[in-house]
Amino acid sequence: MNIESRYETEAPKGAGSGIRMIRHSINRRRPIDAADTMKSTLIDQRDGLRTFVVVLATGDEAIQTLTSFAVDHHLGASHFTAIGAFSRAVVAYFEWSSRQYRNIHIDDQVEVLSLLGDITFEQPKPKVHAHTVLGKCDATAHGGHLIEGVVRPTLEIVITELPRQLRRRFDPESGLALIDPGSRT
């Protein structure tokens, strides 16, 4: 997968100082311009909590962009919700017997009916863990662990940071890195 990343250093004219733009594209055939940019703003900050609104544009890859945003904003204990649409996606189902994720490719335009997740630390950086339910044009729904989602035309995300970082620790029984609520930073 060919992913290009580019960061804007200035906010658009007329925008508040809290707006930051991050660009991500996947195999784009046209150049990236200002209209194709992830936009974000800090809408609230108090008592150790921050709330951001992040809006992704066509061609942005959801997990990669959220991960970059988490790194840039030092998010280590956050949860998020989102709605929007993808031109294609990969979801996964965790098969307990094999302790492996089974990827399911959805190569259709779909509505993001629900996207929920958290951001924690998994050494040495933030880890995005997201689950989604996607709706097809025939009103069927597909869901699972979101591995990849290419946005078209938008994905609207609200991220709320908690005052204390959460860390993931390897669980030998499942083979997964799970949140350890007792872990102190």
Q: 103 lies in a domain?
A: yes
Q: 174 lies in a domain?
A: no
Q: What is the pLDDT of residues 7-19, one digit of tens each?
A: 332 333 333 434 3
Mean pLDDT, rounded, of the chain? 80
Q: 171 lies in a domain?
A: no
Q: Looking at residue 99, which CATH number applies to its domain?
A: 3.30.1330.80
Q: 181 lies in a domain?
A: no
Whole-angstrom distance, CA of residue 93 vs CA of residue 133: 12
Whole-angstrom distance, CA of residue 1 vs CA of residue 115: 23
Q: What is the pLDDT of residues 116-130, one digit of tens each?
A: 999 988 777 888 999
CA 10 to chain centre: 23
**Residue 20 binned pLDDT confidence (cut-offs 50, 70, 90):** very low
Q: 18 lies in a domain?
A: yes
Question: Do the Cβ atoms of 5 and 26 come closer than 8 Å?
Answer: no
Q: 52 lies in a domain?
A: yes
What does pTM read for this prediction? 0.74
Which residues are 132's β-sheet partners?
A: 115, 144
Q: 82 lies in a domain?
A: yes
Measured in Å, how far apart are the chain's first and last C-alpha atoms? 34
Whole-angstrom distance, CA of residue 116 vs CA of residue 145: 10
> What is the structure's pLDDT at 179?
64
Q: 176 lies in a domain?
A: no
Residue 69 in this model has a pLDDT that exceeds 90: yes
In the chain, how many domains are there?
A: 1
Whole-angstrom distance, CA of residue 110 vs CA of residue 123: 33
Provide the domain limits for residue 29: 3-163
